[in-house]
């Protein structure tokens, strides 16, 4: 597991490969955001990814 090995950049790249392949895209986009937030500590990039996920997948809560 790349994350367990501390290979966070490689883990992000793996997420990108899976996203590009169209495999469980939402799952891998969220995983990528989680890596930036929890492991890399890049809150700005994580926020950007999560915002794109919300917009792209229409995940805004409706009243």
pTM of this prediction?
A: 0.88
Measure Cα distances from 42 to 35, 39, 46 in Å. Answer: 9, 8, 6
What pLDDT was estimated at residue 25? 94
Rounded CA gap, 63 and 18, in Å?
33
Q: What is the pLDDT of residue 63?
A: 66
> 49 with 37: CB under 8 angstroms?
no
What residue segments make up the domains of the chain, in order of their start? 8-56
pLDDT score of 4? 95
**What token pair was written down for 44?**
């700005």
State pLDDT tens for residues 8-52: 999 999 999 999 999 899 999 999 999 999 999 999 999 999 999
Give the position of tokens 């890399």: 40
Coil, strand, or helix at residue 5? coil
Q: How far is CA 63 from the centre of its chain?
A: 27
């Amino acid at each position: 597991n790349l994350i367990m090995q501390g290979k966070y950049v490689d883990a992000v790249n793996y997420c990108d490969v899976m996203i590009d392949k169209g495999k469980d895209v939402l799952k891998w986009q969220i995983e990528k955001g989680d890596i930036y937030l929890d492991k890399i500590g890049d809150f700005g990039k994580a926020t950007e990814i999560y915002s794109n996920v919300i917009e792209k997948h229409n995940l805004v809560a409706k009243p």
